[in-house]
Every structure is written in structure tokens, then in C-alpha cells.
Amino acid sequence: MKLIIHVDGGARGNPGPGGSGVAIRDAEGKVLFEAGYYLGHVTNNQAEYTGLLKGLEIAAKAGADELDIRSDSELLVKQVHGDYRVKNEGLKPLYDEAMANLGRFKKWHIQHVRREQNKDADRLANDAMDASSDVVRVNEIGV
């Protein structure tokens, strides 16, 4: 099963109170899952990676074997592609975990998209930061 995953993250103050957003659709575009996760005190890049990790976790639980991942973080996308090295010590464990989790899927692709094309994940990250707690808007996957 192929899933399309939009991920985003942010931190107010960078570092500061942060959140991640995950929006998952099936190959036909039907919304299956939308959630925002409150992360406490993090950097923007840590929040971006946490969004990716949450998306991979949900996709694995849903039984996906193919992923199309979209993020508006050019840094995250270029690091996952191997175009940029991960130099920041705070990001290395998140990167390592993401790469290990991606290896569980038969096929995956990650691409950078403009912020306007990632508005659902952005909204979810902001919802979590506003609420200072996790928020689940849609859960058709049952996780």
C-alpha cells in the first residue's frame, strides 16, 4: 500500500516550544490521518525530523510498503538524500533513526515542496504548539 505523507515542524523562538505535524493520504488522495505533536523545548530542525519520524511510525503501523514523503524543510530533504552531511549533534540521532526506519519500507521517496504545498502539516504543527499538547484531527488508520 502506498501512502503520501506530509510532514512539518516548527519551534517558536528556535529553540523554543515546538510541534510537528503529520498528514497522511492514500494514493487516491483520501485523508487517512492528521495529527500535531507537541514537543516541548526543541529547535526547528529537531521538530522537522520528529515530524518525519512520527509519519514513518504511523505509516508502518498502517502497513504501508511504499511512501511518498513531502516536506518543506530543504535541510531535512537534502540530508535524507545524502546531499548534505548531518553535522549538528542534536540532529544526528534523529537522522540515524529516520534512516533506519526508512529501511523498513520496500520503496520510498522524499521531496522538498513549497510551504504552500505543505499547509496541512504546517497547520497541525501549529495546532499542537497552540494547544501545548498533541492533537489528532483524523484517524482513519486506527492508531
Where are the domains positioned within the chain?
2-136
Q: What is the per-residue pLDDT for 14?
A: 92
Q: What is the per-residue pLDDT for 70?
A: 98
Say how far apart CA 12 and CA 137 lie, in whole Å: 22
Grid cell locating 38: 507537541
Strand order in the sheet with 135-139: 107-112, 66-71, 2-11, 16-26, 31-42, 135-139
Say how far apart CA 88 and CA 91 lie, in whole Å: 5
2-136 has CATH 3.90.1300.10 classification: no
Residues of the chain with pLDDT under 70: none
Q: What is the per-residue pLDDT for 143?
A: 83
Pair 20, 51: CB distance under 8 Å = yes
Pair 102, 66: CB distance under 8 Å = no
